[in-house]
Amino acid sequence: MFALMFFAGASTPENLTPWVGTWTSTQPASKDFRPDRLVIWKSRTMPGALHVLGSAYWYGPMVEYDGKPVRDVHFGKIDADGVPARDALVLHEQGCEVTLTMADGEIHTSDNVLCGGMNVRFRGTFVRHKG
């Protein structure tokens, strides 16, 4: 099975490096809106794998809480190891499935809608964080 995965384009130490780093969503951010984020490093427990810690947010309307207006924020996360095959990495955690695809130095994401609170999605384009 390992040989089949390897020859089908599974990871080698060389092709893990382009994934490693901190990535932020290209969604506009402001003082009220935090961008979605992926932090990726080589897994310490699974050889040939990457570990991804990701956070995603959905910002709803202002609501009143304890007599004060607050933003209704829903969030989700992924915290999982996965082995990239060619330009794709599929992650699974407690029913959540996130697919990352590397293209032209960007990561494009999609999910199965089971990765957090209502309306939270891991979808869109992420670019390497500078700084």
Tokens of 39: 């932090």
pLDDT digits (tens, 9 = 90+) for 67-93: 999 888 899 999 999 999 989 999 999
pLDDT of 8:
41
Q: Which domains does the chain have, with CATH numbers?
A: 2-128 (2.40.128)
* DSSP conformation class of 18: G
Distance CA 62, CA 69 (A): 6
Distance CA 90, CA 96 (A): 10
pTM: 0.84
Confidence of residue 40 (pLDDT cuts 50, 70, 90): very high
Establish how many alpha carbons lie within 13 A of residue 4's alpha carbon, considering only the half-sphere containing its beta carbon: 1
Across the range 115-126, mean pLDDT stands at 94
Confidence of residue 26 (pLDDT cuts 50, 70, 90): very high
